[in-house]
Structure 1
Protein backbone atom coordinates (compact mmCIF):
# COMPACT_ATOMS: atom_id res chain seq x y z
CA UNK A 1 0.00 0.00 0.00
CA UNK A 2 1.42 3.35 -1.07
CA UNK A 3 0.53 6.81 0.23
CA UNK A 4 -1.34 8.93 -2.30
CA UNK A 5 -2.20 7.98 -5.87
CA UNK A 6 1.35 7.12 -6.89
CA UNK A 7 4.28 4.84 -6.20
CA UNK A 8 6.00 7.03 -3.56
CA UNK A 9 9.48 6.32 -4.93
CA UNK A 10 8.81 2.57 -4.53
CA UNK A 11 8.43 3.01 -0.75
CA UNK A 12 5.15 1.46 0.43
CA UNK A 13 3.74 2.32 3.83
CA UNK A 14 2.35 -1.20 4.36
CA UNK A 15 3.54 -4.60 3.08
CA UNK A 16 1.64 -7.77 3.83
CA UNK A 17 3.25 -11.19 3.46
CA UNK A 18 0.52 -13.62 4.46
CA UNK A 19 -3.08 -14.44 3.65
CA UNK A 20 -5.67 -13.17 6.08
CA UNK A 21 -6.83 -9.82 7.42
CA UNK A 22 -4.39 -6.98 8.03
CA UNK A 23 -5.54 -3.89 9.89
CA UNK A 24 -4.53 -0.45 8.69
CA UNK A 25 -4.45 2.66 10.85
CA UNK A 26 -4.78 6.43 10.48
CA UNK A 27 -5.03 6.62 6.69
CA UNK A 28 -7.17 9.29 5.03
CA UNK A 29 -7.72 10.41 1.44
CA UNK A 30 -6.44 8.46 -1.55
CA UNK A 31 -3.90 5.64 -1.27
CA UNK A 32 -2.75 3.08 -3.83
CA UNK A 33 -3.18 -0.63 -3.17
CA UNK A 34 -1.04 -2.90 -5.32
CA UNK A 35 -1.83 -6.62 -5.26
CA UNK A 36 1.61 -8.06 -5.87
CA UNK A 37 0.47 -11.63 -5.25
CA UNK A 38 0.58 -14.38 -7.86
CA UNK A 39 -1.45 -17.43 -8.78
CA UNK A 40 -4.82 -15.74 -8.86
CA UNK A 41 -4.73 -14.53 -5.24
CA UNK A 42 -7.10 -11.68 -4.43
CA UNK A 43 -6.85 -8.54 -2.30
CA UNK A 44 -9.86 -6.85 -0.73
CA UNK A 45 -10.13 -3.35 0.76
CA UNK A 46 -12.55 -3.69 3.68
CA UNK A 47 -14.46 -1.21 5.79
CA UNK A 48 -14.61 -3.58 8.75
CA UNK A 49 -11.48 -3.94 10.88
CA UNK A 50 -11.86 -7.73 10.80
CA UNK A 51 -12.12 -8.08 7.01
CA UNK A 52 -15.86 -7.50 6.65
CA UNK A 53 -17.86 -5.20 4.33
CA UNK A 54 -15.23 -5.47 1.57
CA UNK A 55 -15.22 -3.61 -1.73
CA UNK A 56 -15.12 -6.23 -4.49
CA UNK A 57 -11.82 -7.95 -5.13
CA UNK A 58 -8.59 -6.91 -6.74
CA UNK A 59 -6.86 -9.40 -9.03
CA UNK A 60 -3.19 -10.36 -8.65
CA UNK A 61 -0.82 -7.99 -10.44
CA UNK A 62 -3.19 -4.99 -10.41
CA UNK A 63 -3.39 -1.74 -8.48
CA UNK A 64 -6.22 0.62 -7.59
CA UNK A 65 -6.34 4.07 -6.06
CA UNK A 66 -8.88 4.03 -3.22
CA UNK A 67 -10.43 6.66 -1.00
CA UNK A 68 -8.90 4.92 1.96
CA UNK A 69 -10.74 6.97 4.61
CA UNK A 70 -13.49 4.38 5.25
CA UNK A 71 -11.10 1.39 4.86
CA UNK A 72 -9.92 -0.29 8.05
CA UNK A 73 -8.37 -3.53 6.80
CA UNK A 74 -6.91 -5.31 3.79
CA UNK A 75 -7.75 -8.97 3.29
CA UNK A 76 -5.57 -11.29 1.21
CA UNK A 77 -7.01 -14.59 0.01
CA UNK A 78 -6.45 -17.40 -2.50
Structure 2
Protein backbone atom coordinates (compact mmCIF):
# COMPACT_ATOMS: atom_id res chain seq x y z
CA UNK A 1 0.00 0.00 0.00
CA UNK A 2 2.75 2.46 1.00
CA UNK A 3 4.82 1.55 -2.08
CA UNK A 4 1.80 2.13 -4.39
CA UNK A 5 1.22 5.57 -2.90
CA UNK A 6 4.87 6.53 -3.48
CA UNK A 7 4.71 5.16 -7.03
CA UNK A 8 1.53 7.19 -7.78
CA UNK A 9 3.12 10.39 -6.43
CA UNK A 10 6.29 9.78 -8.44
CA UNK A 11 4.19 9.21 -11.58
CA UNK A 12 2.22 12.41 -10.93
CA UNK A 13 5.43 14.40 -10.41
CA UNK A 14 6.94 12.92 -13.57
CA UNK A 15 3.83 13.82 -15.58
CA UNK A 16 3.86 17.38 -14.24
CA UNK A 17 7.57 17.70 -15.00
CA UNK A 18 7.01 16.43 -18.56
CA UNK A 19 4.22 18.99 -19.07
CA UNK A 20 6.44 21.81 -17.82
CA UNK A 21 9.35 20.75 -20.03
CA UNK A 22 7.05 20.44 -23.05
CA UNK A 23 5.77 23.95 -22.34
CA UNK A 24 9.31 25.31 -22.20
CA UNK A 25 10.19 23.73 -25.52
CA UNK A 26 7.11 25.28 -27.13
CA UNK A 27 7.97 28.71 -25.75
CA UNK A 28 11.54 28.49 -27.03
CA UNK A 29 10.39 27.26 -30.44
CA UNK A 30 8.24 30.38 -30.99
CA UNK A 31 9.73 32.78 -33.56
CA UNK A 32 11.35 35.97 -32.26
CA UNK A 33 9.11 38.12 -34.47
CA UNK A 34 6.04 36.99 -32.53
CA UNK A 35 7.29 38.65 -29.34
CA UNK A 36 8.14 42.08 -30.77
CA UNK A 37 5.72 44.96 -30.54
CA UNK A 38 5.66 48.73 -30.79
CA UNK A 39 8.25 50.56 -28.68
CA UNK A 40 8.11 54.34 -28.11
CA UNK A 41 5.67 54.72 -31.01
CA UNK A 42 7.87 52.69 -33.36
CA UNK A 43 5.93 49.80 -34.95
CA UNK A 44 7.32 46.28 -34.86
CA UNK A 45 9.99 45.60 -37.50
CA UNK A 46 10.60 49.29 -38.29
CA UNK A 47 13.55 51.61 -37.95
CA UNK A 48 12.40 54.86 -36.36
CA UNK A 49 14.21 58.18 -36.13
CA UNK A 50 13.20 60.78 -33.55
CA UNK A 51 14.07 64.48 -33.66
CA UNK A 52 16.85 65.33 -31.22
CA UNK A 53 18.16 62.97 -28.59
CA UNK A 54 14.85 62.02 -26.91
CA UNK A 55 11.74 59.96 -27.64
CA UNK A 56 9.70 63.03 -28.71
CA UNK A 57 6.64 61.89 -26.77
CA UNK A 58 6.82 58.51 -28.57
CA UNK A 59 6.33 60.19 -31.98
CA UNK A 60 9.10 59.33 -34.45
CA UNK A 61 9.63 61.86 -37.22
CA UNK A 62 10.68 59.19 -39.75
CA UNK A 63 9.86 55.47 -40.03
CA UNK A 64 11.48 52.98 -42.39
CA UNK A 65 10.28 49.45 -43.08
CA UNK A 66 12.77 46.94 -44.47
CA UNK A 67 11.74 45.38 -47.73
CA UNK A 68 12.41 41.68 -48.19
CA UNK A 69 12.74 39.71 -51.38
CA UNK A 70 13.69 36.08 -51.90
CA UNK A 71 17.45 35.70 -52.23
CA UNK A 72 18.23 39.27 -51.12
CA UNK A 73 19.78 39.77 -47.69
CA UNK A 74 19.72 43.55 -47.56
CA UNK A 75 17.89 46.64 -48.74
CA UNK A 76 18.89 50.29 -48.91
CA UNK A 77 17.15 53.60 -48.52
CA UNK A 78 18.78 56.88 -49.45
CA UNK A 79 18.04 59.48 -46.76
CA UNK A 80 17.68 63.23 -47.02
CA UNK A 81 17.43 66.07 -44.51
CA UNK A 82 18.67 64.20 -41.42
CA UNK A 83 21.16 66.62 -39.90
CA UNK A 84 22.49 66.75 -36.36
CA UNK A 85 21.76 64.43 -33.45
CA UNK A 86 18.72 62.15 -33.69
CA UNK A 87 17.62 59.23 -31.55
CA UNK A 88 17.50 56.09 -33.71
CA UNK A 89 15.60 52.92 -32.71
CA UNK A 90 16.09 49.65 -34.57
CA UNK A 91 12.87 47.83 -33.66
CA UNK A 92 13.49 44.98 -36.11
CA UNK A 93 14.07 41.30 -35.43
CA UNK A 94 15.98 40.47 -38.59
CA UNK A 95 19.39 42.00 -38.05
CA UNK A 96 21.45 45.16 -37.79
CA UNK A 97 20.93 48.45 -39.60
CA UNK A 98 23.80 50.37 -41.13
CA UNK A 99 23.92 54.11 -41.62
CA UNK A 100 26.21 54.68 -44.64
CA UNK A 101 28.22 57.75 -45.59
CA UNK A 102 27.54 57.19 -49.29
CA UNK A 103 24.38 56.76 -51.34
CA UNK A 104 22.95 53.29 -52.00
CA UNK A 105 24.76 51.66 -49.06
CA UNK A 106 28.29 52.83 -49.90
CA UNK A 107 31.02 54.34 -47.76
CA UNK A 108 31.76 53.84 -44.09
CA UNK A 109 29.12 52.63 -41.66
CA UNK A 110 27.53 53.18 -38.28
CA UNK A 111 25.91 49.91 -37.15
CA UNK A 112 22.87 49.74 -34.86
CA UNK A 113 21.89 46.25 -33.70
CA UNK A 114 18.39 44.87 -33.61
CA UNK A 115 16.28 46.11 -30.68
CA UNK A 116 18.89 48.79 -29.97
CA UNK A 117 18.80 52.57 -29.85
CA UNK A 118 21.49 55.19 -30.27
CA UNK A 119 21.63 58.97 -30.68
CA UNK A 120 24.27 59.69 -33.35
CA UNK A 121 24.92 62.80 -35.40
CA UNK A 122 23.30 61.79 -38.70
CA UNK A 123 24.80 64.64 -40.77
CA UNK A 124 27.50 62.47 -42.44
CA UNK A 125 25.10 59.65 -43.41
CA UNK A 126 23.31 59.45 -46.75
CA UNK A 127 21.75 55.99 -46.83
CA UNK A 128 20.46 53.21 -44.58
CA UNK A 129 21.00 49.48 -45.16
CA UNK A 130 18.81 46.83 -43.53
CA UNK A 131 20.88 43.65 -43.18
CA UNK A 132 18.57 40.68 -43.02
CA UNK A 133 19.50 37.46 -41.27
CA UNK A 134 16.86 34.98 -42.43
CA UNK A 135 17.65 32.74 -39.45
CA UNK A 136 16.52 35.55 -37.14
CA UNK A 137 13.45 36.38 -39.23
CA UNK A 138 12.08 33.05 -40.30
CA UNK A 139 14.16 30.45 -38.49
CA UNK A 140 15.33 28.84 -41.73
Q: 1:56 deviation in Å? A: 4.1
Structure 1 contact 44–54 (Cα < 8 Å) conserved: no
Query: Quick check: 1:46 aligned with 2:94?
Result: no
TM-score normalized by structure 2? 0.51
Determine which structure has the larger strand proportion and give its number: 1
Q: Which has the larger radius of gyration?
A: 2
Unaligned runs of 5+ residues in structure 2 are 1-48, 68-74, 133-140
Query: Quick check: 1:65 aligned with 2:116?
Result: no
Q: Answer 1 or 2: higher relative contact order, Cα 8 Å, separation at least 6.
A: 1
Change (3 A) 1:10 1:38: same
Runs of 4+ in 1 over 3 A off after TM superposition: none
Determine which structure has the larger helix proportion and give its number: 2
